Amino acid sequence: MCGIIGYCGPRRAAPLLIEGLRRMEYRGYDSAGICLGAPGGLALIKTAGKVKALAEKVPADLEGNCGIGHTRWATHGLVNEQNAHPHTDIQKRFALVHNGIIENYLSLKQELQAEGFVFQSETDSEVLVALLTGLYRGDLEKAVKEALGRVEGTYGLACLCIDEPGLIVGARNGSPLVVGIGDGEMFLASDYNAMIAHTRQVVYCEDGEVITLTASGFRTTDLANRRIEKSIDHIDGTGAEAEKAGFPTFMEKEICEQPESVDRAMRGRLSRETGSAVLGGLNMSARELRSVGRIRILSAGTSYYAALAACYMIESLARIPSTAELASEVRYANPLVEPDTLFFVISQSGETADTLFALRELKRKGARVLGVCNVVGSTIAREADGGIYIHAGPEIAVASTKAFTSTLTAFLLFALSMARSRDLSLKAGLALIDELSAVPGKIQSLLDRRQDLDLLAQKYLWAGNFLYLGRGINYPLALEGALKLKEISYIHAEGTSSAEMKHGPIALINESFPTVMILPQDSLRGKNISNLKEIKARQGKVIALATAGDEEISSLADDVFFIPPAEELLNPLLAAVPLQLFAYYLARRLGRNVDQPRNLAKSVTVE
């Protein structure tokens, strides 16, 4: 969600700050601003709206080689220039940007108002500025530490003081920060993508750390002023992956990258010699894996629907009881941790607050927790006991697409590995490897027909509601298909099990409430056809995703999009693609901003 960028060095800061904010636009935001130490004092420029509007307000000749910038996703206060970051005191001695939530801000604000501080915004973040003004005695780092000692909540922050030019102080607790080390210059950001064009040398900040930067270097301490030695990591990539590469939107690009992203998730991990998968990052011995008696998968949003499908895969192949749970619920449920239970947490960004806090609660209780992440070096990837990188590549659009299918692929590999260590035969393992290896080509065949889905979307532009139905492993796909449609088109959609339709949702069915049915040739096809006929008996329109060659479906449904034949457990990898494209084309035809849909953020780092 909110993005932070800071710069200290010999170059003019303003263009670098704007560039960094642009590289973080995918995270979702509603206002933006920068502040830098310029001749004569702090130069503060901010606006409600997009970074483009901010850039137009920044003078081309604005001086200053040390500054901070921010994109805000509103939590406290309306979306307006007044509430945009950076925040300053009235005298403009201090400037601060903040990600996270200060939970005790109201009591602090009342106390500070009684002492005479005049607040200029409705935000919780401004209390940090007010604390700094009262605590500052010529040492910004010390004042930041004292201020943070009084707050409760989460933060990733960066601040400046006019009395200490060329200095940025940052701190982290529950919201990511990373230092970038350049040649005679330093960067600070909430996302290394913000500075990847200028440096590949980064230092990840941990909770409880305070970072002090100048152009010549940085130092890290804790709130008790103890020095912390940090290691430097190298980031691969050039940043070109975060460009549209000729596509009109990032979302379409990422949908169309799925043949490659699914292939990357499998590459080097399939063994025909053993008929199994090799997942070295689990950090568990074969004996430990065989002793697992139950699996619980924690996640949120799209990752939760991937977890639901993963449970079907694991139970079907490995015969291990598995459950998917919302991370936000587990954290506060005083979760039971049994000795033979293996936990997974899923987060594309590796920074999802609900999931990260659930991981920490489980680890406090002695659980073994593995992470499934896309972003190398993310907090969850570092704090988990082991895990699987899905290798989807940068996902810039807010609505997840390729990370969803890559996560499904990763869990199929895990399920195959666990199954082969138990009861699955070599022959069955090799057959599944053959099926998996064919998936990227099958996805490409779907993408080659994506204009058919554009025409289908055009046909249903009149619909204000959709019902999505699936059964078995395709039930999570119905939930995910409905989520994609509401996320980017703002059309109401609800997903449910086909079997549950008769227990309530059937009351919604009429000629103006179309249903999308995931109806491949699998063990539940006959049951699904019965549900389809129940809808048609009530004048409902049906769009079916069916297996190629299933002509009976063509005679029953109003519209059909065919997917290639596949082993039953692999159908979600194929069905996901037309569901994504249908939502995408509907949203585009309605004029929506599919990459940055309203009110949403890519990396949800607040509870």
Q: Enumerate the active-site residues.
A: 2, 602
Q: Is the dihedral of CA 595, 598, 600, 601 positive or negative?
A: positive
Dist. CA 339–CA 364, nearest whole Å: 14
| Nearest alpha-carbon partner for 416 in 293, 295, 569 | 569
Q: Is the dihedral of CA 405, 406, 410, 416 positive or negative?
A: positive
Mode of pairing for the β-strands spanning 368-373 and 178-181: unpaired
8-state DSSP, 117 = P
Spatial CB neighbours of 271, under 8 Å, sequence gap ≥ 6: 277, 278
- Cβ atoms 518, 478 nearer than 8 A: yes
Dist. CA 504–CA 467, nearest whole Å: 12
Report helix, strand and coil shares of the chain as percent, to nearest 5. 40, 25, 40
Alpha helices in 372-474 (DSSP H): 379-383, 402-420, 426-447, 450-459
Say how far residue 355 (Cα) sits from the centre of its chain: 11
| Nearest alpha-carbon partner for 414 in 323, 272, 310, 327 | 310
Placement of tokens 């659009």 in the chain: 397
What's the longest Cα–Cα distance across the chain? 79
253: three-class secondary structure by DSSP: helix
Rg (alpha carbons) of the chain, rounded to whole number: 25
8-state DSSP, 322 = E
State the CB neighbour count (10 A cutoff) for residue 31. 26
β-bridge mates for residue 410, sequence order: none
